[in-house]
Amino acid sequence: MSKEEKVLKKKSPRNAKWGYIFIIPFFAAYICCTLIPQLMTFYNSLFMNYRDGLTQVGPKFVGLQNFVKLFSPDNSGTIGILKYFGNTIILWLMGAIPQIVVAMLLAVFFTSYRLNIKGQQFFKTVIYMPNLIMASAFSMLFFTLFSPVGPVNQLLLGAGWVDKAVDFLNIKISVRVLISLMNFLMWFGNTTILLMAGIQGIDQSLFDAAMVDGASSTQTFFRVTLPLLRPILIYTVITAMIGGIQMFDVPQILTKGIGMPNRTSMTVVMYLNNYLTTSKNYGMAGAVSVVLFIISAALSLVVYSSLSRQYKKPARHRKY
Amino acid sequence: MKKKLTAILTASAMVAALCACGGSQPAATTAAPAETPAATEAPATEAPAAETEAAAETEAAETEAAAEESSEGKVFNIYAWNEEFKGFFEKYYKVPDGVTVNWIITPSDNGAYQQKLDEALLNQENAADDDKVDMFLAEADYILKYAGSDATQDITKIGVTDFSNTYNYTVQAASDANGVVKGVSFQCCPSALIYRRSIAEDVLGTSEPDEVQAKLDSWEKFNAVAADAKAKGYYMTPSFAETYRVFSNNCTTPWVDADNNLQFDPQIEAWMDQTDEFIKNGYTLTAGIWDDEKNAQMFADGKTMCFFGPAWYFNFCMGNAQDPEKGCSGDWAITEGPAAHFWGGTWLMAPAGTDNPTMLADIMNTFINDEEVCSALVENEAQFSNNQAVNAKFAADESYGNEFLGGQNDVAVFSAMTDNIVWENHTIYDQLLNEGLQNQMQEYYKGSVDKETALKNFYNYVNETYPAIVTPQ
C-alpha cells in the first residue's frame, strides 16, 4: 500500500465524521424547533388546559375527549372541523390551480429560447414582487378596496354598472375569489421561478433533438418538459399544498376573523386560532393541530405517490 | 489540530445559535403564516425560562427597595389599546427626570389587546424590572377580569386615597368583589344621543336639545320618529348596532348565570327586536359600529340623524364630522335620549409588581384630583372628566360651550346624566360576547344567513372562545 493510499484510507472515515458534525446544526434545529413541538402538541391534545379570564384551568388528563368533541356535530348538526377543512381545500384549489398553470406557462415562455423574451430579469422581479408584501397588509388593502364604501364600489357606482354598493365581503363566492386571488398573486411568481429553475436544469440537447424530430411546441412540452420537470413539480405541488392547508392570514384579516359569510371562508388554522387566542385552549387547539398534521401528511403522500408513479414507470407504448 | 479546533468551534457556535433561536422565540400573537400550527405552541410554554431566571433572583431583592422613590425603575411601561390617553398623558403629565415612558399599544379588535396584556401580566413576576407592566389601561367591557384578579394591586396602599370627587360607578368598576380599589378612570362616560341639528330640524321641526329630548325620550317615540326620518329620506341610526349599548347597559342580568350558562337578557332581546324592525324598514344601515360605511355617515353629506356615544366618542371617533372640508362641525348636539347608559371609559389600572409605584400613584392622582389637569381635559380636550367639582364648575359656566356641538354646554348635559349610571351585571367575558354577537348578527342583517343560523354561529364562537361558558343546545 502506497503512502497516499494509506492516507486516503485513513482519512475517508474521518472526513465522514466531519460531515456528520457539520449536519448537526440542521438536526439539532429540526429536533428543537419541529420534532419536540410536534410531540408536545400530541401530548397537549390529551389534556384539558385553558385559561378562564386570568385563571388557569387544568392541565387535566382527559384522554381522547378533545378529539371526540372536535368530531361531534354542533347545534346545527355540522361537524365544524370537516366544514373548515372543506373550506380550506376549496380556497386552496381555487388559488393553486391557476397558480401552477400560469406559473408553468410563464416558466416555459421565459425559458424558451425560440421566444427569447427580452428584459426577463425585469419581469421576473415584477412577478415576484407581491410575495414581498406582508400577507396581512395585502389582505388589509383588499379589505379596504372592496368595502361597501371602498374605491371599487365607487368605481362601479360611478360607472353606473351597479345601483347599490356591492357588499363583496359578505357574498360567499366573492370572498372566496378574493382570497384565492390574493394567494395566487402572492405565490405565482415564486412558483414560476422554481419551475424555471427546473426547466433550465433539463439538458438543452433534448429540446434540440425534439425540434429536429419535428415535434411541435405542445408535443415538446408534454413529452419532454413535463416528464423531466416532474420532481420539481412534485415539490412545488406539495409545498403549495402544505402552505394552502395552513392558510390563515389572508382570510383572517379579510373576514375580520369570523370567516364570513356564515363561516364559509373559515380555514382550519383560523378555527385553531379561535381556540388558542383568547382562552389559550391548548387541549382543543392541540387536537386540531394533530388532525391537521395527519391530513397534511396523508395528502402529501397521495400527491407524492400519484405524481411519482408515472415518473418511475415511463410508458412504453408511446411512439416518439 | 488548529483546524480541528476551529471546526469544533464553528460547529458548536452554529448549534448554539440555532438552539438559542428556538428557545427564546416569543409567543407570537399574530401567528406567521409559514409556521406550522404545531410549532406555534411550544415556544409559548418554554419561551420565558431562558432569559428570566437571572432576573428573578435580583427581582426579589428589589421589590422591597422599590417602595422608596429614589430606587424606583427608570422605565415606565404603559399598555394601551389606542392613542387616546397617550395624547393627554404627554400633554398634561410631567414625567419625572430620568424616567423613560414606553407605550405598548395593541388594538383591541378580537381581543388582541387583552391577549398581549395577559401575557405580560402573567409573566410580571419573572420579567426584568424594566420590562414590567407599570400601568395598563382597561375598558369597561373587561375591567372586571383585571380588577377581580391578583394581577392588580390595591391603589390605596400606594397613595391614591381620595375618591371624593370621582363618580361612584368609576370606582365600583375598578374594585374587586371585596371593594378593594385597583384603578381609576380619568373620564366619566355617560353616553348621549348625538344628533345632527339640521336633520332634526327637518324631521322634528326643532333642533333645540330640550325639545328634541321631549320627542325622543322613550323607545316608542324613538321608533316612531325613525319612520318619519325614513319618510324624509334619512336614516335614524348609521349602524344596526348603534343602539346596542343603550340596551345592553341596562341589562338586569349578566351574560352568564352562576353556573356559567350563557343567557340573553330581555334588553338584548329588545335590541334584536328593534334592529329587526329597523333593518326591515330601512331605518338603519347594515354597517358595524366601527365600519367605514358607518363613519362615512358623519360627513356633511351623511343622511343619518342619531348617533350614540359619550364624550370620547365625539372627540375621538367622529373625525369625519370634524373634517374641515367634508365634515359638519357645529351641526351637532347632544341629549340624553331614550335610556340612560354609559359606554366604555378608560381606566388606569395598577398592576401588581410594578417597580414604579410612586409615579403610578402620581399619575392616577393627577388625572382624577389635579384640578388644573382635569379642567384642561374639559376645556382643551372636550372630555367629561372624572372630577365632579371641575365638571360642576364648567356646567355652571354659561360662557362655556363646545364648538363641535354648536356651542352647547355638553358638561352640563353629561352632569345631569351621571346619577342614572349603574355598574352592575358585568362579567369578565363582556367584550368578546358583545363584539361576537354583533359580528354574527351583522351577517343576519346583511341577509347572508337566517337569524337561527346567526345565533348558532354565535354559540359556536362562544364555545371556541370561552370553553368555560355553557351555551344552549
Count of domains for chain B: 2
**Please, is B153 exposed, middle or buried when counting C-beta atoms within 10 Å of its C-beta (0-12, 13-18, 19+)?**
buried
What residues in A contact B151, CB-CB < 8 Å?
54
Q: Mean pLDDT across the stretch A94-121?
A: 87
Pairwise CA distance, residues B196 & B198, whole Å:
6
Q: Mean pLDDT across the stretch A245-273?
A: 89
Q: Mean pLDDT across the stretch A262-282?
A: 89
pLDDT attached to residue A215: 87
Beta-carbon count within 10 A of A313 CB: 8
Q: What is the CATH number of the domain that holds B98?
A: 3.40.190.10
Shared domain for B325 and B458, answered yes or no, is yes
pLDDT attached to residue B119: 87
- Using alpha carbons, select from B224, B185, B136 the residue that is nearest to residue B342: B185
- Please determine, for residue B241, whether its predicted confidence score (pLDDT) is greater than 70: yes
Across the interface, which of B7, B41, B287 has its CB nearest the CB of A282? B41
Shared domain for B144 and B222, answered yes or no, is no
- Please determine, for residue A13, whether its predicted confidence score (pLDDT) is greater than 80: no
Across the interface, which of B29, B121, B293 has its CB nearest the CB of A54? B121
- Please determine, for residue A288, whether its predicted confidence score (pLDDT) is greater than 90: yes
Return the residue in B291, B320, B457 with the most chain A beta carbons within 10 A, the one to mutate for interface testing: B457
Shared domain for B183 and B108, answered yes or no, is yes
Return the residue in B3, B12, B15, B260 with the most chain A beta carbons within 10 A, the one to mutate for interface testing: B15
Tell me which residue range forms the domain holding B181: 71-189+345-395
Q: How confident is the model at residue B79 (pLDDT cuts 50, 70, 90)?
A: very high
Strands (E), B20-177: 75-80, 100-105, 135-139
- Please determine, for residue B53, whether its predicted confidence score (pLDDT) is greater than 50: no
pLDDT attached to residue A302: 87
Across the interface, which of A167, A246, A281 has its CB nearest the CB of B37? A246
B11:A21 CB<8 A: yes
Least confident of A11-20, B101-110, B367-376: A11-20
Structure ipTM over 0.85, yes or no:
no
Omega cis (within 30) before A59: yes
Q: Residue A261 in contact with residue B449, Cβ under 8 Å?
A: yes
pLDDT attached to residue A178: 93
**pTM metric for this prediction:** 0.79
A25:B114 CB<8 A: no
Shared domain for B391 and B352, answered yes or no, is yes
Q: Is residue B22 part of a domain?
A: no
Q: How confident is the model at residue A270 (pLDDT cuts 50, 70, 90)?
A: very high
Rounded to the nearest integer, the mean pLDDT of chain B is: 81
pLDDT attached to residue B270: 92
Q: Mean pLDDT across the stretch B60-72?
A: 48
Shared domain for B226 and B353, answered yes or no, is no
- Give the DSSP per-residue string, A288-302: HHHHHHHHHHHHHHH
B37:A269 CB<8 A: yes
Per-residue pLDDT reduced to its tens digit, B3-36 = 565 556 555 555 544 444 433 333 333 333 333 3
% residues pLDDT > 70 (chain B): 85
Shared domain for B91 and B184, answered yes or no, is yes
Shared domain for B196 and B315, answered yes or no, is yes
Per-residue pLDDT reduced to its tens digit, B159-205 = 888 888 888 888 888 888 888 889 899 888 899 999 999 999 888 88
Q: Bigger pLDDT: B167 or A3?
A: B167
- Please determine, for residue A315, whether its predicted confidence score (pLDDT) is greater than 80: no
Return the residue in A52, A84, A131, A154 with the most chain B beta carbons within 10 A, the one to mutate for interface testing: A52
Shared domain for B360 and B435, answered yes or no, is no
Pairwise CA distance, residues B329 & A53, whole Å:
41
Q: How confident is the model at residue B274 (pLDDT cuts 50, 70, 90)?
A: very high
% residues pLDDT > 90 (chain B): 16
| Final residue of a structural domain among B395, B412, B437 | B395
What residues in B contact A276, CB-CB < 8 Å?
40-41
